[in-house]
Amino acid sequence: MSAENTIEEISADEVVDVTFTELGLDTKILKALADMGYEKPTPIQARAIPAAMQQRDVLGIAQTGTGKTGAFTLPTMHKLAKGRARARMPRCLIICPTRELAAQVAENVEQYGKYLKLEMALLIGGVSFAEQDRKLMKGVDILIATPGRLLDQFERGKILMTGVQTLVVDEADRMLDMGFIPDIEKIFKLTPFTRQVLFFSATMPNEIKRLVDQFLHQPVSIQIARQSTTAETVRQRIVRMPSSDPKQKRTALRYLIEHEPVENGIVFCNRKRDVDIVAKSLNVHGHDAAPIHGDLAQSLRTQTLDKFRNGEIKYLVASDVAARGLDVPSVSHVFNYDVPNHSEDYVHRIGRTGRAGRDGDAIMLVARLDKLNYDDILNLIKVESIEEYDIPGIEDFPKDGGKYRRGGRDKDRDGRKPRGRHRGDKRSQYENKGRRSEGESKNSTRGDAKTTAQSESKAKISTAKDGSKKAQSRRVAPKRKNVEDGDVLDNSSSKRSKKTSSLDNVTNDESKKIHHSKTSDKPKSSRHKSQRDSSKSDKKPRERNPRGKDSAKPKPRYRDSIGKADHAGFGDDTPAFFKTPLKK
């Protein structure tokens, strides 16, 4: 299963003497290629097509733009020209990392197979499931999909992978960067062991090598030499930025757009957030621009690309992942708002201009923090320096003043103070405390009076609460006098008398209604009656009920009666509730 059995490395500029006809492709495919003006294959196509037609696994290590799409689609379509697909069982599966690249592969399949009776379906995110389900139920020969949507349809039971004859993985290194390797492993395990694998990647990191050794069986390895030189038709220049301030970079970008003969251009950014900000800035200053990145809906991304191709949009602000697979033949300028993190991406970016023998311009903004990435680019393209573009007064361009910088402990990423539960941190509490102390020193007399009033009010409230815990009002229960001595008895003399008095003297109408509704239909127990009789013998009769002589008296709550039973009965050998007579 090792890829080292057959290794073949060729140059990207190698002259190919063979034609498509000599490769033995189907006549209908040859007719479609002739209509497109293709006569000879590229170096990777000349090596990969014969090996794939012999049912061997192929490992292609090549950069974008070398013709590797035709290297796996042409032999696959030749193989599937005979036969018919069954419902929900595709015969060929092509996996792509992004929606744009999948759409480009689907477009090539339609062009190459326009004379063949092959059914093709595109499974990407952002598109309705209903239309995709109809195509799958009809039967698909070639299924082009992204890993996420493919697994979603499989889990919904809409796809059966037991009939896959050829599995194609395109841009495997990009899938590694995007975190799709676990999904790729799962897809490999779901397909039959006897399927043919066509595996293509621009680089070979350790994780990709592990996949190749695990799932490819004695593959034919075709490695195209890394494209280290750029097209001679592209003029490369850089702008030395005094700082990495985003507003200053946006101002410099607008200066370049206004002082260069730009027909249409692509602006590349490293981050999705910068893509949106730069596109908005260009529109605010009168330049027709639109963003495209992975977080946008698929319908909006497709619409934006169509408008850019048709000339309705002059500037396209894109990220590297979203721009993967873009094929716009006439682009006059490419602007690198950020220096790419990978040196290979620089060659890929500026390759969008100067195509088909046309002249193109590529300008990149370089700050001091970009020195390492810039040196990697120089080493890759094997030059000592790139022509510099001088912008007069660039040091005086405005800056955002730290508006978009990340804040410290008291600020979020946008520089705003935190809200909600995070607004009262320790630091702000200490500051507010210090400010209050200064104000109190100026108005000490007024503050002392206010503090005294607050303490008195708190004392009254606490006294009222101690007098009646169960009552909903804050009135203190009235005190009672002893029949014999005439002394005032405190309600807190005993726990049992305290509960009884607080419940009997509640004046809140709402609490009386609750007590009356809950206890009006319940019979009085003998234990409660004996307790009340004993308390009446030593105490003065209660005062007149303020509600009226004939009105019903409030009854104790059920939970209070349980508390009394626990207090009175369970201290003896025999619990009190066993002595209570049963209701007849």
Name the more confident of 316 and 323.
316
β-pairing verdict for 488-489 and 480-481: antiparallel
Give the model's pLDDT for residue 451. Answer: 52
Please state the rounded mean pLDDT for residues 336-346: 89
Judgement on whether residues 32 and 169 belong to the same structural domain of the protein: yes
pLDDT at 566: 47
363, 432: one domain: no
> Which pLDDT score is estimated for 440?
45
Query: Residue 382 corresponds to which amino acid?
Result: K
Dihedrals phi, psi of 482, to nearest 5 degrees: -75, 140
Residue 240 forms part of a structural domain: yes
Token digits of residue 324: 């993967």
**Would you state the pLDDT for residue 255?**
95
Give the model's pLDDT for residue 579.
58
In terms of domains, do 168 and 213 share one? yes
pLDDT of residue 359: 86
- Do 304 and 342 lie in one domain? The reply is yes
> Greater confidence, 409 or 313?
313
In a domain, 106, yes or no: yes
Q: Which pLDDT score, from 0 to 100, does residue 495 have?
A: 45
State whether 426 and 524 are in the same domain.
no
Domain finish residue from 224, 253, 272: 224
Residue 437 confidence (pLDDT): 43
* pLDDT tens digits for range 112-142: 999 999 999 999 887 788 888 888 898 899 9
Residue 449 lies in a domain: no
Residue 85 banded pLDDT, cuts 50, 70, 90: confident
pLDDT value of position 229? 62
Most confidently predicted of 32-41, 125-134, 407-416, 498-507: 32-41
As beta bridge partners, residue 394 has none
Residue 241: which of 361, 337, 333 has the closest Cα?
A: 337
136-157 burial code (b ≥16 CB/10 A, e <16): beebbbbbbbbbebbbbbbeee
Same-domain status, 354 and 432: no
Q: For residue 26, is pLDDT > 90? A: yes
- Structural contact between residues 128 and 48, judged by C-beta atoms closer than 8 angstroms: no
Q: Report the pLDDT averaged over residues 17-31.
A: 92
- 334 part of a folded domain: yes
Mean pLDDT of 515-540: 49
Q: Is 450 inside a domain boundary?
A: no
pLDDT at 484: 45
Q: What is the mean pLDDT of residues 5-24?
A: 75
- 218 and 271 belong to one structural domain: no
- Identify the CA nearest to 198 among candidates 8, 349, 53: 53
More confident residue, 228 or 251: 251
**Amino acid 454: pLDDT:** 59
Tell me which DSSP letter residue 260 carries: S
For the entire predicted model, the pTM comes to: 0.57
| CATH number of the CATH domain containing 255 | 3.40.50.300
Read off the pLDDT band of 582 (50, 70, 90): low
**Same structural domain for residues 121 and 53?**
yes
Under DSSP, the state recorded for 287 is -
Nearest-angstrom CA–CA distance, 467 and 444: 35
The verdict on 220 and 268 lying in the same domain is no
Specify if 558 maps to a domain: yes
pLDDT-derived band at 448 (thresholds 50, 70, 90) equals: low
Q: Output phi, psi for 346, to 5 deg.
A: -65, -45
For residue 51, what are the domain limits? 6-224
Q: Domain check: are 159 and 248 in the same one?
A: no
Checking if the pLDDT of 554 tops 60, the result is no
Round the average pLDDT of the chain to a whole number and report it. Answer: 76
Name the pLDDT band for 571 (thresholds 50, 70, 90): low
Are 255 and 220 in the same domain?
A: no
The larger pLDDT score, comparing residue 449 to residue 281, is at 281
550 vs 249, more confident:
249
Comparing 435 with 255, the larger pLDDT belongs to 255
On whether both 174 and 297 belong to a single domain, the answer is no
CA atoms of 102 and 121, how far apart (whole Å): 11
The number of folded domains in the chain is 4
The C-alpha atoms of residue 528 and residue 565 are separated, in whole angstroms, by 9
Classify residue 215: in a domain, yes or no. yes
Least confident of 55-69, 92-106, 266-280, 457-471: 457-471
User: Coil, helix or strand for 544?
Assistant: coil
Joined together, the tokens standing for residue 171 give 């841009």
Mean predicted confidence (pLDDT) in 71-85: 91
Average the pLDDT over 416-444 and give the result: 47
pLDDT of residue 253: 96
Reported as type and span, the H/E element at residue 237 is: strand 234-240
Condensed to tens digits (0 to 9), the pLDDT of residues 470-527 reads: 444 445 555 554 444 444 444 444 444 444 444 444 444 444 444 444 444 445 444 5
Report the pLDDT averaged over residues 437-446. Answer: 46
Please indicate, yes or no, if residue 503 is contained in any of the structural domains: yes
Q: How confident is the model at residue 351 (pLDDT cuts 50, 70, 90)?
A: confident
